[in-house]
Amino acid sequence: MFELDETQRAVEQAVRSWCEQNLAPAVPAMERGEHLPYPLLRRMGKELGLDEALVRLARRRLAKLQAVGSGEREMEAEPAGGLADDPMVTSVLLKEISRISPGFGMVLLATVGCGMAILSSSSAPLIERYAVPVLSFEKIGAWALTEPGAGSDAFGSMQTTARVEQSTLVLNGHKTYISNAPFADVFVIYARVKMGDANPVIRPIVVERGTPGLDTGPPMRKMGMHDSPTGEVFLQDCRVPRENLIGRIEPTEKARGSAALETLNLERAAMPAMCLGIIERCVEESVRYAKTRVQFGRPIAEFQAVAFKLARMTVALENARNLVFKLAWAQRAGKLHPQLASIAKLYCAEKAVRVALDAIQIHGGAGYMAELPLEKLMRDAKMFEIGGGTNEIQLQTIARSILGPPNR
């Protein structure tokens, strides 16, 4: 369980060599905003067979829907899986990309997250029309939950609404910090759907770029992940067919935000692997540098202050790796619980930031310079303590899972 098998090792090697040859040289121009990441994403999809694997998943889902026939909407949502039916392969892929650029990993995660949200509980026409083009990277996807007034409390404070008018949904609202939003073709938008006298329920709705009433802002300037465009989405009387609603409208507490939580859990399961990539690269670079950088007549690795830092970084690497293995096992066994996803995301995000800072410290001035990858890895690492649920929200999820909900 704690070692990659032969297939997973082969994937690791193939992705590493692709990323070193193609992604690493492209990162500086993408970071400066001179090139968008999407042409390279499409190339990666083709050359690593990622698009084929994802479309195969979609085709399998379509075949199942066909088998169920008219009762398609009664089907169980697709469980959280992974590429090639192996979540560890997904983890290895994200880890390898994030050794070079976590931002580029975010571009992939956001588009796949959008495609998977549509795939997991949509009708066949919605999957054909939107999930297949997004999962083959022909179209770029975005997944929009966060709003200016609804971040950690995304469900409780959500203002975006969808009014049902006969066969049409009319959306109004404002989403922010959405990965890929400035350039995405397909958006999964979460909104309070109001139908008749029933209480509104939060559901995801597919909206295509070009639909009147949907607009996006320019890429936001941010601390890190400069190669991952992030932006706002504006909805003003944006009308889409009612069929674009993903899943059923169930005015029950259980249904409230359940599709969003599935995608969030998927995100929380993917992000630890990305953090592992940061940690692994930082440890490798730091060990190599500490053995060769000479000060006071000896390699700096011989100073205990440096050696102990490396030892702590290695402990974090081992723990993060174990958590990523456990997450992949849990996904495969259908046992991915929010508690485990939160533990892994919290630990790996905190350690990615800590280890990246330590790596910069060990490299001294060289670590602070953009010529080395460490300062980007550190800036990108910080995102994982915020996106997909902040550290504090992960702690809250873990605390509630052991103590039960607060008695208020």
Ligand X SMILES: Cc1cc2nc3c(=O)[nH]c(=O)nc-3n(C[C@H](O)[C@H](O)[C@H](O)COP(=O)(O)OP(=O)(O)OC[C@H]3O[C@@H](n4cnc5c(N)ncnc54)[C@H](O)[C@@H]3O)c2cc1C
Q: Is 375 a catalytic residue?
A: no
For position 393 contacting ligand X by CB under 6 A, the verdict is yes
For position 390 contacting ligand X by CB under 6 A, the verdict is yes
Among 91, 101, 160, 179, binds ligand X (CB under 6 A): 179
Q: What gap in Å lies between CA 162 and CA 172, rounded to an integer? A: 7
Among 396, 398, 400, 401, binds ligand X (CB under 6 A): 396
CB count in 10 Å sphere of residue 3: 7
Q: What gap in Å lies between CA 57 and CA 182, rounded to an integer? A: 27
Among 104, 130, 137, 177, binds ligand X (CB under 6 A): 177
For position 381 contacting ligand X by CB under 6 A, the verdict is no
For position 392 contacting ligand X by CB under 6 A, the verdict is yes
Which amino acid is located at 2 in the chain? Answer: F
- Show contacts with ligand X in window 320-359 (CB under 6 A): none
Nearer to ligand X, 56 or 400 (CB): 400
Q: Could you tell me how many residues of this chain bind ligand X (CB under 6 A)?
A: 21
Active-site residue identified among 232, 267, 285, 350? 267
Among 145, 205, 270, 328, binds ligand X (CB under 6 A): 145
Q: What gap in Å lies between CA 251 and CA 229, rounded to an integer? A: 35
* 366: helix, strand or coil: helix
CB 179 within 8 A of CB 107: yes
Q: What gap in Å lies between CA 91 and CA 270, rounded to an integer? A: 7
Q: How far is the CB of 166 from ligand X (least distance, A)?
A: 29
* Per-residue DSSP letter, 73: G
SS3 content of the chain, % helix, strand, coil (to 5): 55, 15, 30
Among 26, 158, 178, 245, binds ligand X (CB under 6 A): 178
Q: How far is the CB of 201 from ligand X (least distance, A)?
A: 18
Facing residues of 162 across strands? Answer: 171, 193
Among 130, 143, 187, 347, binds ligand X (CB under 6 A): 143
Q: What gap in Å lies between CA 82 and CA 183, rounded to an integer? A: 26
Q: Which stretch binds ligand X (CB under 6 A): 1-9, 79-87, 319-327, 382-390?
A: 382-390
Nearer to ligand X, 90 or 230 (CB): 230
Among 95, 268, 387, 394, binds ligand X (CB under 6 A): 387
**What tokens does 407 get?**
């008695």
- Where would I find the H helices in 204-303? 258-292
For position 233 contacting ligand X by CB under 6 A, the verdict is no
For position 206 contacting ligand X by CB under 6 A, the verdict is no
Convert 44-62 to b/e letters by CB count within 10 Å (16 or more is b): bbeebebbebbbebbeebb
* Per-residue DSSP letter, 405: S
- Show contacts with ligand X in window 92-121 (CB under 6 A): 110
Q: What gap in Å lies between CA 326 and CA 319, rounded to an integer? A: 11
For position 384 contacting ligand X by CB under 6 A, the verdict is no
Q: What gap in Å lies between CA 305 and CA 293, rounded to an integer? A: 14
Which residue's Cβ has the minimum distance to ligand X? 151
Q: Which stretch binds ligand X (CB under 6 A): 235-243, 249-257, 352-360, 389-397?
A: 389-397
Q: How far is the CB of 30 from ligand X (least distance, A)?
A: 15
Q: How many helices (H) and strands (E) does the chain have?
A: 14, 9
- Show contacts with ligand X in window 207-226 (CB under 6 A): 225
- Residues interacting with ligand X, by CB under 6 A? 110, 143-146, 151-152, 177-179, 225, 230, 383, 386-390, 392-393, 396
| Residues noted as catalytic | 267
